[in-house]
Structure 1
C-alpha cells in the first residue's frame, strides 16, 4: 500500500509536511536576504538560486493535490512555477558577462532582486491559497450568521471540528458546497423537541432576542425568497422571524432563527458515529441538514473527511445579484468574525 507523503491523513504526515514547509520558508527568507546583501560571489549565488528553485517543485505537486481536494482547478498551482522562471532569469543575469565599459551596467542587480522579492510574494500567496478558501453564500440556511451574498473565508480543518464550529463541505445530494454548524461530535446524542435542541439529554440554553427583520424580496444570484413567520407578505414589505441566542456549555453563543413549525422541530435521538459530526443550519426551519437523510435532500451524519474548511470571517458582502452593484454593498459585514 502506498500513501501520499504530503497528505493530511495522520499526525506523522502532517508533522513531516510542517517540517518541510518550515525548511522551504527558512531557505527562501534567508536566501533572499543573502542575495539582497550581495555577500556571495557568482557561483555560490547561482547554487543558492537553484536550490531555492528546486524546493518549489514539491510545493507545486502539493498545491495541485490540495486544489483538487478543494474542488478547485489545479491550474492555480502553476503560479508556483512563476518564481521558478524568474529564478532562472536571475541565474542568467547573475552569470551574464558585464559590459566592458566600466561606466555602463546593463543589468543592475537591483532589478533581479526586486523581481525575486515580487515573485516570492506570488509564490507565498499561491502556497497559502492551499490552506484557505473563499466561499460565496447563495442560500439562506445559515441566516443570520451568513446572509445571502456574503463572501466568507475558511481555513482547512484538521481532524474533527469543535462543537459550534461553522464548516463548509460538499453536500451529499448535489455535490455543491454547503455550510452548517457543528452541534454534535462523535458519541453525542442529538435531538430536537418542540424546536429546542437537546444534546446528550440536556436542552441547549437559548435567549430570545428582538425579531430578525429583512425585506421580502428575491435574494442572491439564485433569486430565492426568504421564509417569513407570516405567510405571504407583499414583496417589498417586512419579513419577520423569531431570533434567539443559542448557548452551548462553555462555548461562545450564536444567533439562530425560528421561523415557523416544521418537520425538523421534532426528531428522534441521533447518536453520532465515529469520524462523523452532526450539523445544523442556524436558520433552523429553512435548512436541510443532519436532521434529514440524504435521500430526503438532507445531509445525515456528515463524515469529517467531507469537511473542506472552517469559516473564519466575512470578507465581503453584497445584497444584490451581482457584487458590482455598489449600492447593495454591506460594509458593516466586512471582516466580521464568525461566532
Structure 2
C-alpha cells in the first residue's frame, strides 16, 4: 500500500475534512476582516496574507480527493480555485498599503511587492496540487521500481493510461492507496503462464539479471519482512530474489522480481473490459493485483476512475520507519525517474 503523506493517516475522512474546512474558513474570514480594517503594519499584513494562502495547499489536495470520491476527475477542482484565488488577489491589491515609508523598504523593493511575489509563489504551488500528488510507499508490491520508504510524486491521469505506466489508485478492498503497473488496456487479453506474462497471446520478452539482494529485516512503518527465495534466512542476512528486465514497452524495459512459485504465476485468460485496465506489481509474488479478485484481497479489473495519479519520480527515500532517521536516507534514489 501507499499513502498520500500529506493526508491524515492516508484516509479521506469526511469528518476531519469538514473540521479543516471550517477552521480554514474561519481563518480566512478573520484574516480578511483584519486586512480590510487596516490595523496591521505592512510586514505583519504580508505574513498574514502568506499564511492564508498556505491554507490553499492542503485544501487543494482534499478538494481533488472529494471529486475522486464522487467518481469525477480531480481536474474539476481547478475551476473552483481559479475564482477563489482571483478574488483573494483582487482583495489584496485593493487593501495593500500605498504609503512609501522608507523604514519598511528592502533596498528598492517594498514589502507589498515582496508580499505579492511570495503570494504568487504560494498560490501557484497550491494550485499545482490539482495536477500532482505525493505518495509514501509502505509495501513491497512494486520492488525494485519502488522501495519501502520511497516518497513518490505522481501527476493526475486524464483518460486511460498507457501500457507500462505506473499508477497509484484506490484499492477496492480497503480504500487505501496502492501502486501497480498497467499491463493491459481495454480490449487486451492478459494471462500468466509459468510466471511469464502474455499479452494478446504473445509472451512478453524478459532477460535475466543478477539477483536482487537486500537485508532480511523489518522495513518501513508497517515493519514488513521481505519475501526471499530461500525460506527463513536469519535476520540481517541476505534476502535474495530473481530479477529480470521485462520488455513491456517498445522504448524501454523495467525490472521485475520473481521470488518463488506462487498462485499468481498461472492465471486464466483475462479480457480487459472498456473503462478498465489490468495492473500488476513489479514484485510479482508480493503483489495482490488484477490477477486476484477483490473478494480475495486483489484488485481485479481496475476502473480508470479509481486511478489517482501516474508516478513520475522518487522525491525522497528513507529505509527507516521515520524519515528523520538521517542515517537511513537513500540519496541515490532522490529524483530517480520511474521506468
How far the C-alpha of 1:68 sits from its partner, in A, is 2.3
- Determine whether 1:307 maps to 2:310: no
In the other structure, the counterpart of 1:69 is: 67
| Secondary structure at 2:111 match in 1 | helix
How far the C-alpha of 1:78 sits from its partner, in A, is 8.9
Q: State the Cα deviation string for residues 112-157 of structure 1 (Å, max 9, x = none).
A: 1211111011110000011000000000000000000000000000
| Cα distance change of structure 1 residues 93 and 132 upon mapping to structure 2, 3 Å threshold | closer
Q: How does 1:164-183 map to 2 (within 5 A)?
A: 164-183=164-183
In the other structure, the counterpart of 1:276 is: 276
CA contact (8 A) 1:142 1:281 kept: yes
| Cα distance change of structure 1 residues 107 and 169 upon mapping to structure 2, 3 Å threshold | same
How far the C-alpha of 1:65 sits from its partner, in A, is 3.6
Give unpaired runs (5+ residues) of structure 2: 1-56
In the other structure, the counterpart of 2:94 is: 91
In the other structure, the counterpart of 1:143 is: 143
CA contact (8 A) 1:79 1:122 kept: no
| Secondary structure at 2:148 match in 1 | coil
Q: How does 1:280-299 map to 2 (within 5 A)?
A: 280-299=280-299
Question: C-alpha separation between the residues in 2 aligned to 1:315 and 1:88?
Answer: 36
Question: C-alpha separation between the residues in 2 aligned to 1:143 and 1:201?
Answer: 26
Give unpaired runs (5+ residues) of structure 1: 1-58
Structure scoring higher RCO (CA < 8 A, sep ≥ 6) equals 2
CA contact (8 A) 1:60 1:78 kept: no
Q: What's the Cα RMSD here?
A: 2.8
How far the C-alpha of 1:248 sits from its partner, in A, is 2.0
How far the C-alpha of 1:89 sits from its partner, in A, is 4.4
Q: How does 1:184-333 map to 2 (within 5 A)?
A: 184-333=184-333
Q: State the Cα deviation string for residues 140-188 of structure 1 (Å, max 9, x = none).
A: 0000000000000000001000000000000000000000000000000
Question: C-alpha separation between the residues in 1 aligned to 2:61 and 2:239?
Answer: 44
306-315 or 80-89, which moves further after superposition?
Answer: 80-89
Length-normalised TM-score, structure 2: 0.74
| Cα distance change of structure 1 residues 300 and 251 upon mapping to structure 2, 3 Å threshold | farther
Length-normalised TM-score, structure 1: 0.74
Q: State the Cα deviation string for residues 230-255 of structure 1 (Å, max 9, x = none).
A: 00000000000000000025141000
Question: C-alpha separation between the residues in 1 aligned to 2:205 and 2:284?
Answer: 15
| Secondary structure at 2:117 match in 1 | helix
| Cα distance change of structure 1 residues 155 and 89 upon mapping to structure 2, 3 Å threshold | closer
In the other structure, the counterpart of 1:163 is: 163
Question: C-alpha separation between the residues in 2 aligned to 1:79 and 1:275?
Answer: 30
| Secondary structure at 2:295 match in 1 | helix
| Rg comparison, structure with higher value | 1
Q: How does 1:55-134 map to 2 (within 5 A)?
A: 65-69=63-67, 87-93=90-96, 110-134=110-134
| Cα distance change of structure 1 residues 292 and 63 upon mapping to structure 2, 3 Å threshold | closer
